[in-house]
């Protein structure tokens, strides 16, 4: 781990010396970060012992082995006041030594993340980094952190800031570039801006990920609302920069097993960061098994395709309808190993879900496909032209990986499938009808 980190740091260091701040930020974080964030389970009730205990659980439960290799602090780690020389200070009782914390996390095999704010204060009222960007970035570097989440609370008055939203965040990007030049350390930088100012249009110029919506809550209503927001901006996501749908609430609140599976699937397949926000001391084996679905994690971490899945049909609503209760239901996208489909049943009762294969732009006409179910982990035969998922549970999900499996049988009628039928034409110009 240390060797790897030194190597990455060295490579990025060489890279950064000759490039702009934007390129530096784009030089890290090719794939979505996976790990833990302490906010949703513990809010301000955090301390070093709890964080290290959480890291132990991540190791013990095999979460580190399947890729969850970040442990990130969120708000409330600091003293309320800076030092006389303006340094931010970690809470002397709860976080007596940040260096000790990051050393121990690194020794366990994790990267360590910290949190600050682009305004005067964090959302919980601790010191923000506005006008202290470089000083704080140096402090975080000297404490051994690798990742920085940067929030949007306590925005300074217009006549002080005299910047747009991109300028406000870029102040820290510039500071991190200075740190990289001085020390060779590069942070993974994660914007938390809640989608106020179309962050999906500019986030990629400066960060690994950007929050697109309000804080998640552990209820189905919150999940569908976030999925609805994501459905319209999937094009923003690719390797090195992506929509962040907020933390994983698997095992929290009133989410059922089927709802938790839908939650994990949607977050993983839109290539969002996968940051667990559950108390691992009390999580059930059933919920843990959702977080550890390696076939779905493999799609989130696809080294070839960084793009998100996208809806090809909204389903209950006409296409492109904004509906926070019934978001788009039929999604697909390319992956290293085939075309992936996600079908979400937003109804409160089971439903059959049908699609023509060529509704997905990633499917080839005239080819049949083998079908693998990424939740049952079974091969489910061959799909010719269409597929129906029977009895998808209420608020449940089906994930299928389709691989080319030779030509479809000869002589199938009609000669064109799906939408192509309305333009289906023989070489001599005869229209099929
Ligand atoms: C905001 C963010 C949350 C969390 C809290 C901490 O609400 O959106 O994710 O970081 O601040 O105060």
Chosen domain end from 268, 300, 332: 300
Tokens describing residue 253: 């609140």
Dist. CA 57–CA 231, nearest whole Å: 34
CB neighbour burial string for 80-107, b if at least 16 within 10 angstroms, e if fewer:
eeeeeeeebebbeebbeebeebbebbbe
**Same structural domain for residues 99 and 163?**
yes
Residue 424 lies in a domain: no
Pocket-forming residues, ligand 1, beta carbon under 6 Å: 39, 74-75, 122-124, 151, 192, 215
**CA proximity to 278, closest of 57, 31, 52, 47:** 57
Candidate from 117, 126, 151 with most ligand 1 atoms within 8 A of CB, to mutate: 151
Same domain, yes or no: 291 and 323? no
Q: Look up the CATH number of the domain holding residue 73.
A: 3.20.20.70
| Residues 360 and 392 occupy one common structural domain | yes
pLDDT tens digits for range 264-290? 999 999 999 999 999 999 999 999 999
Q: Rounded mean pLDDT of the chain?
A: 93
Q: Are residue 361 and residue 212 in the same domain, yes or no? A: no
State the CATH number of the domain containing residue 350: 2.60.40.1180
Residues 6+ apart with CB under 8 A from 95: 47, 48, 77, 101
Measured CA to CA, the distance from residue 228 to residue 293 in angstroms comes to 24
Q: Is residue 425, in this structure, part of any structural domain at all? A: no
Contact by Cβ (8 Å): 134, 178: yes
How many angstroms from the chain centroid is the CA of residue 50?
Answer: 24
Same domain, 346 and 236: no
d(CA 340, CA 269): 9
Note whether 190 and 224 are within 8 A (CB). Answer: no
Task: Find the 123 Cα to ligand 1 centroid distance in Å.
Answer: 6
Domain that residue 346 falls in? 310-418
* Residue among 41, 46, 123, 154 whose CB has most ligand 1 atoms within 8 A, to mutate: 123
**pLDDT score of 29:** 86
Cα 151 to ligand 1 centroid, rounded to whole Å: 7
CA-nearest residue for atom 12, ligand 1, is: 123
How many domains is the chain partitioned into structurally? Answer: 2
Which residue's alpha carbon is nearest to atom 1 within ligand 1? 123
pLDDT tens for each residue of 275-331: 999 999 999 999 999 999 999 999 999 999 999 999 999 999 999 999 999 999 999
Instruction: Name the helix (H) or strand (E) containing 160.
Output: helix 158-161
Instruction: Describe the crossing of helices 257-269 and 220-231 by its angle, rounded to 10 degrees.
Output: 20
**What is the number of the ligand 1 atom nearest to the C-alpha of 215?**
8
| Position 180 confidence tier, pLDDT thresholds 50, 70, 90 | very high
The C-alpha atoms of residue 116 and residue 130 are separated, in whole angstroms, by 10
432 occurs within a structural domain: no
Strands (E), 224-350: 242-244, 274-276, 310-313, 330-335, 338-344
The answer to whether residue 349 is domain-embedded is yes
Q: How confident is the model at residue 13 (pLDDT cuts 50, 70, 90)?
A: very low
- Phi and psi dihedrals of 373, rounded to 5? -95, 120
- The Cα 385–Cα 98 span in angstroms is 57
Atom of ligand 1 nearest to the CA of 124: 12
Looking at the domain assignment, is residue 429 inside a domain? no
pLDDT at 12 over 90: no
Average the pLDDT over 391-410 and give the result.
98
Minimum-distance ligand 1 atom for the alpha carbon of 247: 9
**Residue 2 within any structural domain of the chain:** no
379 shares a domain with 263: no
Q: Considering 269, 300, 331, which residue would you say is the last residue of a domain?
A: 300
Spell out where 47-124 has E strands.
Answer: 70-72, 111-117
Whether residue 400 is contained in a domain is answered as yes
Identify whether residues 219 and 277 lie together within a single domain. Answer: yes
Who contacts 130 (Cβ-Cβ below 8 Å, separation ≥6)?
Answer: 117, 118, 119, 120, 154, 156, 161, 168, 171
What's this model's pTM, rounded to 2 decimal places?
0.94
pLDDT in tens, 15-57: 333 333 443 444 568 999 999 999 999 999 999 999 999 999 9
pLDDT in tens, 75-124: 999 999 999 999 999 999 999 999 999 999 999 999 999 999 999 999 99
- pLDDT at position 160 over 70: yes
Same domain for 197 and 122: yes
Q: Do 296 and 318 reside in the same domain of the chain? A: no
Question: Average pLDDT of 168-184?
Answer: 96
Asked whether residue 334 falls in the same domain as residue 224, the answer is no
Active site residues: 151, 215
**CA 344–ligand 1 middle distance (angstroms):** 28
- Among residues 300, 323, 339, the one where a domain terminates is 300
Q: Are residues 65 and 115 in the same domain?
A: yes
Q: Say yes or no: 115 and 253 in one domain.
A: yes
Instruction: Specify if 216 maps to a domain.
Output: yes
What was the pLDDT predicted at 205?
85
Ligand 1 center from residue 214 Cα (angstroms): 9
């Amino acid at each position: 781990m240390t060797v790897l980190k030194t190597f990455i740091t060295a490579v990025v260091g060489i890279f950064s010396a000759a490039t702009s701040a934007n390129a530096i930020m784009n030089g890290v974080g090719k794939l979505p970060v996976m790990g833990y964030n302490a906010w949703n389970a513990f809010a301000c009730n955090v301390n070093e012992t709890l964080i290290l205990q959480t890291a132990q659980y991540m190791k013990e439960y095999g979460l580190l082995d399947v890729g969850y290799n970040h442990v990130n602090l969120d708000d409330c780690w600091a003293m309320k006041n800076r030092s006389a020389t303006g340094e931010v200070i970690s809470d002397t009782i709860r976080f007596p030594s940040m260096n000790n914390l990051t050393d121990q996390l690194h020794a366990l095999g994790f990267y360590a993340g910290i949190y600050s704010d682009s305004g005067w204060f964090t959302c919980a009222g601790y010191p923000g980094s506005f006008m202290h960007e470089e000083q704080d970035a140096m402090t975080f570097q000297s404490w051994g952190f690798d990742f920085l989440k940067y929030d949007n609370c306590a925005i300074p008055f217009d006549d002080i800031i005299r910047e747009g939203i991109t300028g406000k965040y870029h102040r820290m990007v510039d500071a991190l570039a200075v740190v990289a030049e001085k020390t060779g350390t590069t942070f993974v930088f994660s914007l938390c801006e809640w989608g106020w100012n179309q962050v999906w249009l500019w986030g990629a110029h400066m960060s690994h990920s950007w929050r697109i919506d309000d804080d998640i809550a552990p209820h189905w209503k919150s999940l569908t609302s976030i999925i609805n927001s994501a459905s319209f901006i999937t094009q923003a996501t690719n390797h090195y920069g992506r929509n962040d749908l907020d933390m994983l609430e698997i095992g929290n609140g009133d989410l059922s097993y089927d709802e938790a599976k839908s939650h994990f699937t949607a977050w993983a397949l839109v290539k969002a960061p996968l940051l667990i926000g559950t108390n691992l001391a009390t999580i059930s084996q059933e919920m843990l098994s959702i977080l550890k679905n390696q076939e779905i994690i493999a799609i989130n971490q696809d080294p070839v395709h960084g793009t998100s899945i996208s809806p090809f049909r909204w389903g209950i609503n006409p296409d492109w309808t904004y509906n926070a209760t019934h978001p788009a239901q039929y999604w697909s996208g390319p992956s290293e190993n085939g075309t992936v489909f996600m079908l979400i049943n937003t109804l409160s009762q089971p439903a059959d879900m049908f699609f023509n294969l060529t509704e997905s732009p990633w499917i080839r006409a005239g080819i049949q496909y083998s079908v693998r179910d990424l939740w049952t982990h079974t091969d489910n035969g061959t799909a010719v032209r269409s597929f129906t998922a029977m009895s998808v549970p209420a608020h449940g999900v089906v994930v299928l990986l389709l691989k080319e499996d030779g030509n479809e049988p000869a002589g199938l009628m009609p000669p064109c499938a799906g939408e192509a039928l309305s333009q289906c034409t023989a070489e001599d110009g005869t229209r099929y009808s």
